[in-house]
Amino acid sequence: MGSRQEYSDNWRLIQATDERSRTLVIQELKKSYLYYRILQVGNIINIHDTLEVPMYVAPPVSGRWIDRGDSLPDHQTTAAQMGFWTNRYCVFPTGFDLLEAMQKEGDQAQLFDLAEMRAAELAWAMRRTLSAALFSGQGGKQPDGLSNMIEKAAPASQVKVVSGVDKATKAWFRNKFVQLAANFGTIAAGSTVPAGLLAFLQLKTQTTVGTNEASDFCTHKDVWEMFRRAMLEIGSHYALITERKQAEFGHKGFMIDGAHLAWDVNCPADTIYALHLEDNHKEENKNGPGDKAQMDTDFEDMGVKSPLKMSGNIGIAMHPKIKWRKISPRQPYRQMSETSWTITSFNPVMSRMSDNGVAGSDNGLRWSTW
């Protein structure tokens, strides 16, 4: 690649851009904490069209108590409540001005610069669109973002339909919610601890199931700074522990009461999400070195085939054949431009909604105010 003959056809240039952007987009997406963590734990589900997922087993019909003389029922009613996961698709354009490409024919350095810039533009567009959709997707053609799945409202007031399950009628598919009614730094009555820390502990307790605690708490940068200040002021009660592996990707986090707290640039203001990205209490649930569900280096084949193979209960649904796939470029009639599209599938999914939670405040300002 690099001779004038190879670049006389713009297809080669677009192909080089596509190959470069596939590398760049992974690097860019790792700058989004939540996206990076989901990739890190391998919670990518391969779905061809629609996947029916068992969400809940109803206790009343899962067993029957009997005594002497009782008759067994003639039939058994199915106890599993099913939901379904589907794919969402997004396309990203990249193109070249044909006159500009012709002017630079034979100039290898300028052609590479042109390809690099178009690849970077495509990677930036993918990162911004997909990482923002993790939080702000509204369903329909868009993904189901966290703000749509995990409602910032009391359980009885939650009404969203997520994965085909209506929260308004299915109480078991409602997320936990904590509301802060005083500024973060306000010392709670009968305590010497800031109200924000007490509310955080309440959220942590509510999202703990048995010995299985939420693995990640993701928040806005302003809120994260409030926690950092509290940790520094309290000092002896908690210690700032920076995870080196996280820091290498630009995510400086710390542990608070045994939970990892980090911030994502796309997280809504005044919000904290408690997420079960990993089931920490069961070592056998984690993808070990021999687990074929591990991320593939090619990234094309990355993903697991069953929700039961995920490390936690939150993941991303993708079509195994539609991941950063290039669509052939076209040249509009009588126009000096050529456009190609890259398509990918992407939809956040969740199986155990009641394990996860969110914290907000009564006026939208409490968590980031001392």
pLDDT tens profile 216-246: 999 999 999 999 888 878 764 455 555 555 5
Q: Which residue has the higher pLDDT, 315 or 123?
A: 315
pLDDT band at 249 (very low <50, low <70, confident <90, very high): low
Dist. CA 203–CA 199, nearest whole Å = 6
Positions of E strands within the chain: 44-46, 50-57, 80-86, 89-97, 161-162, 165-166, 176-180, 216-219, 254-256, 259-263, 272-275, 314-318, 325-330, 337-345, 347-350, 357-361
Could you tell me whether strands 254-256 and 259-263 are parallel, antiparallel, or unpaired per DSSP bridges?
Answer: antiparallel
**pLDDT of res. 246:** 53
pLDDT in tens, 107-140: 766 666 776 777 777 777 887 888 889 999 988 8
Q: How far apart are the first and last CA of the chain?
A: 58
**Residue pointed to by tokens 């126009």:** 335
Q: What's the pLDDT at 108?
A: 67
Q: pLDDT digit string (tens) for 325-370? A: 878 777 776 777 777 788 889 999 998 899 999 999 999 999 999 9
Q: What pLDDT sits at residue 72?
A: 83
Of 81-85, 144-148, 270-274, where does the model show the most confidence?
270-274
DSSP letter for 72, please: P
* The pLDDT of residue 292 is above 50: no
| Cα gap 324→91, rounded to integer Å | 9
Instruction: Evaluate if residue 171 carries a pLDDT over 80.
Output: yes
Predicted local confidence at residue 270, as pLDDT? 96
Helix/strand/coil for 295: coil
Name the band, by pLDDT with cuts 50, 70 and 90, for residue 13: low
What pTM value is reported for the model? 0.80
Position with higher pLDDT, 293 vs 50: 50
> What is the reported pLDDT for 299?
44
pLDDT digits (tens, 9 = 90+) for 73-114: 777 666 678 899 999 999 988 777 667 777 777 776 666 677
Please report the pLDDT score of residue 218 as a whole number: 94
Domains and CATH numbers, the chain: 4-57+79-368 (3.90.1690)
Residue 32 pLDDT: 79
For the chain, give the mean pLDDT. 79
CA-wise closest residue to 339 among 354, 350, 328, 351: 328
SS3 per residue for 232-288: HHHCCCCCCCCCHHHHCCCCCCEEECCEEEEECCCCCCCCEEEECCCCCCCHHHCCC
* DSSP 8-state secondary structure symbol assigned to residue 215: S
pLDDT at 149 over 80: yes
